[in-house]
A and B are shown apart, each in its own frame.
Chain A
């Protein structure tokens, strides 16, 4: 049984009408289905507005999906009561992109990491403190900095605080929404290494949402490519990068600038006429799905 199974997920946002026009609906996520096995790193890539972030948030019900199903260890998450959902969130946590805006500037690092333990009423004060110190060590933060405020940390350290908070409740699934794209280039590799180490150590499963394809290729086992709210291709990373089948995937992969001045530049432009919006995702080879 997959750890997470998303089926026919749809999210429509109502766009409010103004004086001159009626309200319309925007379909941000359009019939998205995928499954993630325990211990896997599953990549969700796409450009801004493709629906990848909305998909991640629907899984946690930070945004309520319009329809579809989300199963976690076989249980229908969307049918959970709010109390049962809170319980379920111990198992599923999210790390946000921007470590500058996602940490409360008026809380000390210790309080930020301790907060989920308090909300879920886990442990007495002393036990919580010990757990926070342990989490600090786990993510490579100096326990001497426990009493500092977020603005006294660098971007990379702040992302470690966000990670420590997400790990506080011992989750099995982490949704990583662009976890390093707001960080300095020279710091990104540190955080990626930490994520890979933690995954091994704690047997974590990652839903890795990113637009940096070089990074996705490096860390993900399987990858799904989103385009205009739909998954247009899904395959093991090495197959997707070696033999992309959907015209959008081809254009996207050919757009990655090579970190090599002598690399051949063969750009494939996306011809919108080649994208069949009605095409269903079908299995074209074992484990390789494409909407062509």
Chain B
């Protein structure tokens, strides 16, 4: 917890979203279990941040927290979410409803369940436009067709009267992207947008998201477990493990020069190299959130573990240009003598308390 107080709100130029010390817990009979643990990151306008992690790492709960859609027994226990100059966690529910969909849109993983089967896609797209006053009764159909054309649905004028089951998975995901874009949001959160799709369709949807981002000057938070998807799409990458961001940096730095043993292990374990050779596996398994080991949550699986790793979770260390990692291996590299907590974190954000 040492670094938790160090990160200041650095709402620099172009920072659209700044998540600061976000902690989201789930209340269980055995106490509050943090699914998201002191998570901080920024997204700038026009930027794609890839949030990578395995199941249970907290990436989806992070997305739901930003939208304030965490359902009990989950709750946001601490932190600030600065979006476009406001703290979303301080907004009243009616104001937040104005943010959801209109300023921040969410695209879910499963395009079948995210659409209502008894309404046509035109009805559902039109509803979004009407609710947020982006269209009137008279022009709603024309605007809906224009949106379907923007996401390259062929014959949009006739497909608008289709029901979701009449569309393929890829087309349904296009409809969801159209709905997300309908109110010209500033930020789109896409939670595993291509996981349920076949490879060729996945490639098309990723291309579409990239184009839409450029056309509408969006910021994109792309949540995925697939490192290939991140390499293709993201500008910056944050790697989550057991509720924490263990490494963050520009996409090239993360893939070429990963500093956290977990990131290194994930990349090394990918199939590639000489066919038939043993893969470099990460030993052990992902820990249960309710039973994290003391210290760094990755330490039982870490090939580089040493004394401090089992005592206290590591703070962020600067490991490169705009790259930070929560790993004691880098304590000496970036800070010759990290004597006090403040000294440990100060190089990232000039020491300031009570962020």
A and B interact physically: yes
Q: Does A257 contact B (CB under 8 A)?
A: yes
Q: Does B267 contact A (CB under 8 A)?
A: yes
CB within 8 A of B285: which of A156, A196, A267, A269? A156
- Which chain B residues numbered 71 to 122 have a C-beta less than 8 Å away from chain A? none
Say whether B199 contacts A155, CB under 8 Å: no
List the one stretch of B154-162, B272-280, B333-341 in contact with chain A: B272-280
Min CB gap A20→B, angstroms: 15
Q: Does B70 contact A (CB under 8 A)?
A: no
What residue in chain A is nearest B271 (Cβ atoms)?
A218
- Chain A residues near B130 (CB-CB < 8 A): none
Say whether B231 contacts A214, CB under 8 Å: no
CB within 8 A of B270: which of A154, A156, A214, A270? A214
CB within 8 A of B282: which of A186, A258, A267? A186
Say whether B228 contacts A219, CB under 8 Å: no
Assuming the A-B contacts A184-B285, A189-B269, A258-B228, are A218 and B199 also in contact, with contact meaning beta carbons closer than 8 angstroms in the complex? Answer: no
Say whether A262 contacts B228, CB under 8 Å: no
What residue in chain A is nearest B204 (Cβ atoms)?
A269
| Bound Cα distance A213, B228 (Å) | 12
Assuming the A-B contacts A48-B198, A187-B286, are A257 and B229 also in contact, with contact meaning beta carbons closer than 8 angstroms in the complex? Answer: yes
Assuming the A-B contacts A188-B269, A193-B278, A238-B275, are A256 and B286 also in contact, with contact meaning beta carbons closer than 8 angstroms in the complex? Answer: no
Assuming the A-B contacts A155-B285, A185-B54, A259-B227, are A196 and B278 also in contact, with contact meaning beta carbons closer than 8 angstroms in the complex? Answer: yes
- Which chain B residues numbered 135 to 167 have a C-beta less than 8 Å away from chain A? none
| Bound Cα distance A189, B283 (Å) | 9
Q: Does B355 contact A (CB under 8 A)?
A: no
What residue in chain A is nearest B288 (Cβ atoms)?
A154
Say whether B279 contacts A213, CB under 8 Å: no
CB within 8 A of A257: which of B54, B232, B255, B275? B232
**What are the nearest 9 A-B pairs in CB distance?**
A257-B228, A47-B198, A189-B281, A218-B271, A255-B203, A189-B269, A189-B279, A154-B285, A190-B281
Q: What would be 22 A-B contacts, judged by CB atoms less than 8 Å apart?
A: A156-B285, A185-B225, A187-B281, A187-B282, A187-B285, A187-B286, A189-B270, A193-B281, A212-B271, A213-B199, A217-B271, A219-B271, A219-B276, A251-B200, A252-B200, A257-B206, A257-B226, A258-B228, A258-B231, A259-B270, A260-B255, A263-B231
List 10 extra interface pairs beyond A186-B286, A214-B271, A267-B203, CB under 8 A: A185-B269, A189-B270, A192-B271, A192-B279, A218-B272, A218-B279, A257-B202, A259-B267, A267-B207, A270-B200
Partner-B contacts on A (CB < 8 A): 47-48, 154-157, 184-190, 192-193, 196-197, 211-215, 217-219, 237-238, 251-252, 254-263, 265, 267, 269-270
Partner-A contacts on B (CB < 8 A): 54-55, 198-200, 202-204, 206-207, 225-229, 231-232, 234, 251-252, 255, 262, 265-267, 269-273, 275-276, 278-283, 285-286, 301
